[in-house]
Structures are given as C-alpha cells and as structure tokens.
C-alpha cells in the first residue's frame, strides 16, 4: 500500500485471488468510509478463511458499520475468525462477555481468550493483562515483572496507552535516570496522540524516547474473578452512603483519565420536563462517556470492580463517565434519579428503569475543595484518589429518595477527576 493509495500490484494480486491483498484493499476502503467496496473485498478474503477479514466483518456487524447491527452475524464471523487464529477476535469475544448476553459471562473462558489474544501479539490484550498482573503485583515480583513486560511489548507494538503507563511507572521512581526516561516516554505518548501526556508535559520541550524492541513475555494464566474492595466506611444507613478506601491504584486511576482525556467536553444536565440534555450554570465541569466502541477490556475490568459492592451486573450499568472539575467548577445540589420525562415510552433507555445506585471513584487528589456534600444528611466526603463512593437513589419500594440531594462543591485548588456510573433497575446494555 503506497502513501497515495492501493498500488496496481495490490489490485492485480487481489484480482488473482490473493486473500491478503483483498484484506488490505478492504481495510483501505473502510478507512475511507467506502463501506460497500470494503465489504466486497473483505467478503472475498473471508471466503478464503482470512482471519483478519473475518474479524473486520464481525466488527462491522457488531457496531453497525455501513450496515444495520446484526449480533448473530457478528458472533458467527468473530467465532470463525477466532477459529482461524485471530487474536483480535478472541479479545473482542472476551470483551463482550462482561455484559453476559450473547456471549455468556465466564471468567475462566474470558481469561483464556485474553491470553490467546495477547499471545497473538494483540496490543490491547497485552495492555489489559498488564493491568491485571499489576493489580496482583503487590508482594509478587513475578506478577510485577510480567506486568512491566506486557506493557513494554504493547508499547513497541505502537500502543499509546501502554507508553503512557510506562511513563508513569518510571516517573514514580525517584532516581534522575527514571525521571528522565519517564519524561521521554510522556513525550512519546504525546507524539502518538496522547492529550493527557501532552497536558502533563506542559510547555516543556522533551525529545520523545526511542523504544527498544521488547520480547514477547512468557504469559501465565490469570484469574478475572473480581474481588470485593476493602476499607468500607458507612456514612449513612438510610439512605445508604458508603465509601471504600484505596479501591483503585494510582495507575488504574491514571489509565481511566488518559483513555478518556481526548474526548472531554462541557458537561450537560437533563431537563426535568422534556428530558433534553443541555449545558447550564448548575453544572460547570467537563465530561465524556465511554460508549461501547470506546471501551476496552481493561476499562470493563475496572468497571466491574466498581460494581462488586452493589451486586449489580454490568448489563444494568450506564456507561462509565469521566468528569473533571477545575478551580471554581462545581455541580450544584441535585439528585441522580431520573425525572419522569426520561422514563416515558419512546425515550431511549427508558425500558431500563430508574437509576438505583450512584457509584463513583475519585481518580485524583484535590488540593482544596471539591467535596461531595449531602446537605440534608449532614454527610460530606473528601476527594481522595482511589476512594469509591456509593449511595442508593431509591427507597426500598423503588420510589425516588429526595434525601439523596447532593452537590459537588467548588474546587478551590487543583483538579478533581471522577469516574462515575449509575445502575438501573433492568438490563440496559446489549453489548
């Protein structure tokens, strides 16, 4: 493939029946959003059992790219791609299982698929394994070394988030050499499109580090059964308000921020009468939501840990929202349960019912201000990186609990980052 497009030789090879050439042409036209041409070439390659083409067509069907979404067809194609050796297909099927629908939730099967994808050198799988190994790394040098090796391999495969995490691991070490390496890795991540890394570098001019080739690590089996967080504190019994201390590591918090950072926009609120979302002075933060096509395995694994205390499946959770409050920004007193207008027939997601729980994690410390305040209950919670907050929005009979009025108080110094989810009464996610 030349810089200007497909070469005559590539077309000739495709016409002669070369599956790889047909796959490359399909990818080229897909990138140009010429989906009918893309599907033609990909189908020709898929008919020759080309794993990449089968995977691409499966993703087209899953996400409705150039066609209506078709889950049965997506599963058929991804299953065929996995059988043909596609690590990406194994990864996608493992990712889908978190919502326990068309692909059943089975931690052992998911772990096997994740390992298969990583051994196929699929960078997002290596990155996800780095997080899982890293979670278990305390007191386990072997897990720590594996985590680092997975990140290094993913980084040399061109994975920006892996580079970003490597940078932050280096920056946590006190010696000047590690600090210099960390800055160079941040610069590399920024050059790869990492807006969080660019923000952290500021105006400093740093030469991007050149990565050395990293070998494929000797991967070991992992357990994806999600443990309950410790350090529970009950702040109020009715309605229940509780916190869990140090539920997420500094690295896990940074991972969420770095992944969502490029997509931040001004926050909106839902109108109580017409259910329309709009910007108001009532809420002055910025935010983004990780919709299906933006979620990776690591992110879903982190979400699942947030949901454990609620005993609620991910299928009943709204998509994770990333929020940032800078100095002076706030969310004035409000309640999280939905207004009647958002639950009337015809409104998207109304069938999932009310918001039962609010759960969020402070992803950063705050120099001053930014507390979560419940004025009717006399409860005020200070931001602390890794601290998870959970409260009920409804009475036992399912009616809204007005006592849950709460506010995000103005940040005085620094920035407050949050990862927030709301659970519903019924299934919300199909994937």
For residue 115, pLDDT over 80 is answered with: yes
Position 284 scores a pLDDT of 85
Mean per-residue pLDDT for 87-116? 95
* 265-266 and 368-369 beta bridge pairing: unpaired
Q: Do both 339 and 243 map to the same domain? A: yes
Nearest to 364 by CA among 348, 342, 338, 383: 383
Query: How far are the Cα atoms of 60, 163, 202, 320, 398 from residue 292, in angstroms, in the given order?
Result: 13, 23, 31, 10, 28
For residue 229, give both structure tokens.
Answer: 């967080």
Q: Do both 286 and 387 map to the same domain? A: yes
Phi first, then psi, for residue 387 (nearest 5°) are -80, 125
pLDDT grade, residue 224 (50/70/90)?
confident
Whole-structure pTM value: 0.93
- Whether residue 97 lies inside any domain: the answer is no
Angle between the N-to-C axes of helices 176-191 and 160-171, in degrees from 0 to 180, rounded to the nearest 10: 160
Position 138 scores a pLDDT of 72
Measured distance CA(169)–CA(103) in Å, rounded: 35
- 377 or 3: whose pLDDT is higher? 377
Mean per-residue pLDDT for 289-294? 86
Q: Do both 59 and 145 map to the same domain? A: no
Position 336 scores a pLDDT of 96
Measured distance CA(219)–CA(95) in Å, rounded: 19
For residue 430, pLDDT over 90 is answered with: no
Position 1 scores a pLDDT of 59
Strand ranges, E, within 153-308: 232-237, 240-244, 265-266, 269-270, 277-278, 286-289
pLDDT in tens, 40-81: 999 999 999 999 999 999 999 999 998 899 999 999 999 999
Position 347 scores a pLDDT of 85
Q: Do both 247 and 218 map to the same domain? A: no
Judge contact between 405 and 376, C-beta under 8 A: yes
195, 224, 253 - which closes a domain: 224
Q: Radius of gyration over alpha carbons of the chain, in Å?
A: 23
Nearest to 248 by CA among 424, 389, 410: 389
> Is residue 239 reached through a cis peptide bond, with omega within 30 degrees of 0 on the bond before it?
yes
Measured distance CA(88)–CA(249) in Å, rounded: 27
Measured distance CA(112)–CA(121) in Å, rounded: 14
Q: Do both 111 and 212 map to the same domain? A: yes
| CATH code for the domain of 28 | 1.25.40.10
Measured distance CA(298)–CA(318) in Å, rounded: 17
Mean per-residue pLDDT for 174-185? 96
pLDDT in tens, 296-335: 999 999 999 999 989 899 999 999 999 999 999 999 999 9
Query: How far are the Cα atoms of 40, 117, 191, 225 from residue 431, in angstroms, in the given order?
Result: 26, 20, 32, 20
Q: Do both 270 and 303 map to the same domain? A: yes
Nearest to 254 by CA among 138, 136, 150, 386: 386
Q: Do both 383 and 267 map to the same domain? A: yes
Nearest to 238 by CA among 137, 358, 107, 377: 377
- Whether residue 94 lies inside any domain: the answer is no
Q: What does the angle CA 31 – CA 37 – CA 42 come to, to the nearest 5 degrees?
A: 80
Q: Do both 287 and 417 map to the same domain? A: yes
- 389 or 346: whose pLDDT is higher? 389
Measured distance CA(259)–CA(290) in Å, rounded: 9
Angle between the N-to-C axes of helices 19-31 and 51-63, in degrees from 0 to 180, rounded to the nearest 10: 30
pLDDT grade, residue 271 (50/70/90)?
low
What do you get for the CA distance between the two ends of the chain, in Å? 34
For residue 226, pLDDT over 80 is answered with: no
172, 195, 224 - which closes a domain: 224
- Whether residue 99 lies inside any domain: the answer is no
For residue 144, give both structure tokens.
Answer: 């720590």
Mean per-residue pLDDT for 253-273? 87
Measured distance CA(268)–CA(285) in Å, rounded: 9
pLDDT in tens, 238-262: 999 999 999 999 999 999 999 999 9
pLDDT in tens, 359-407: 999 999 999 999 999 999 999 999 999 999 999 999 999 999 999 999 9
- Whether residue 1 lies inside any domain: the answer is no
pLDDT grade, residue 275 (50/70/90)?
low
DSSP state string for 223-264: --PPPPP--EEEEEETTEEEEETT-S-HHHHHHHHHHHGGG-
Query: By residue range, what is the domain housing residue 329?
Result: 232-424
Position 365 scores a pLDDT of 97
- Whether residue 405 lies inside any domain: the answer is yes
Q: Do both 156 and 217 map to the same domain? A: yes
398 CB-side CA count, 13 A: 5
Q: Do both 218 and 366 map to the same domain? A: no
Strand ranges, E, within 335-405: 355-362, 368-369, 372-374, 379-381, 388-392
Q: What is the mean pLDDT of the chain?
A: 93
50, 85, 120 - which closes a domain: 85
Q: Tell me the percentage of the chain whose pLDDT exceeds 70.
A: 97
Position 272 scores a pLDDT of 66
- Whether residue 378 lies inside any domain: the answer is yes
Query: How far are the Cα atoms of 46, 54, 135, 150, 357 from residue 81, in angstroms, in the given order?
Result: 9, 5, 31, 24, 38
- Whether residue 431 lies inside any domain: the answer is no
Position 225 scores a pLDDT of 75
- Whether residue 403 lies inside any domain: the answer is yes
pLDDT grade, residue 3 (50/70/90)?
low
Q: Do both 217 and 237 map to the same domain? A: no
Position 171 scores a pLDDT of 96
DSSP H or E stretch at residue 290:
none
Nearest to 317 by CA among 309, 305, 330, 307: 307
Q: Do both 79 and 112 map to the same domain? A: no
For residue 302, give both structure tokens.
Answer: 């982190």
Position 144 scores a pLDDT of 92
Mean per-residue pLDDT for 201-219? 93
Q: How many domains does the chain fold into?
A: 3
């Amino acid at each position: 493939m030349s810089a200007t497009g497909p070469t005559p030789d590539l077309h000739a090879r495709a016409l002669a029946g070369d599956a790889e050439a047909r796959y490359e042409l399909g990818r080229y036209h897909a990138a140009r959003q010429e989906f009918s041409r893309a599907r033609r070439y990909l189908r020709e390659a898929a008919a020759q059992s080309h794993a990449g083409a089968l995977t691409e067509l499966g993703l087209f069907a899953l996400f409705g790219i150039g066609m209506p979404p078709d889950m049965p067809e997506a599963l058929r194609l991804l299953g065929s791609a996995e059988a043909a050796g596609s690590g990406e297909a194994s990864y996608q099927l493992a990712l889908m299982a978190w919502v326990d629908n068309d692909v059943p939730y089975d931690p052992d099967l998911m772990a096997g698929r994740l390992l298969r994808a990583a051994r196929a050198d699929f960078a997002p799988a290596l990155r996800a394994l780095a997080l899982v190994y890293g979670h278990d790394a305390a007191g386990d040098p072997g897990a720590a070394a594996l985590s680092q090796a997975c990140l290094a391999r993913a980084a040399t495969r061109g994975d920006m988030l892996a580079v970003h995490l490597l940078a932050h691991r280096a920056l946590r070490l006190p010696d000047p050499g590690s600090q210099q390496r960390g800055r160079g890795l941040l610069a590399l991540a920024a050059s790869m499109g990492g807006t969080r890394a660019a923000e952290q570098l500021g105006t400093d001019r740093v030469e991007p580090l050149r990565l050395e080739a990293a070998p494929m690590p000797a991967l070991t089996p992992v357990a994806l059964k999600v443990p309950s967080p410790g350090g529970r504190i009950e702040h109020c019994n009715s309605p229940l308000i509780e916190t869990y201390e140090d539920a997420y590591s500094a690295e896990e918090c940074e991972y969420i921020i770095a992944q969502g950072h490029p997509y931040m926009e001004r926050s909106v609120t839902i109108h109580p009468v017409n259910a329309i979302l709009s910007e108001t002075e009532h809420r002055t933060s910025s935010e983004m939501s990780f919709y299906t096509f933006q979620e990776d395995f690591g992110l879903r694994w982190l979400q699942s840990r947030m949901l454990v205390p609620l005993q609620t499946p991910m299928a009943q959770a709204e998509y994770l929202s990333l929020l940032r409050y800078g100095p002076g920004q706030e969310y004035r007193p409000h309640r999280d349960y939905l207004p009647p207008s958002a639950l009337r027939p015809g409104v998207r997601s109304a069938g999932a019912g009310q918001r039962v729980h609010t759960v969020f994690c402070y992803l950063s410390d705050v120099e001053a201000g930014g507390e979560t305040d419940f004025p009717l209950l006399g409860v005020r919670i200070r931001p602390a990186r890794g601290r998870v907050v959970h409260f009920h929005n409804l009475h036992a009979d399912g009616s809204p609990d007005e006592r849950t009025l709460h506010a995000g108080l103005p940040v005085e110094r620094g920035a407050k980052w949050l990862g927030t989810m709301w659970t519903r009464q019924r299934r919300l996610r199909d994937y």
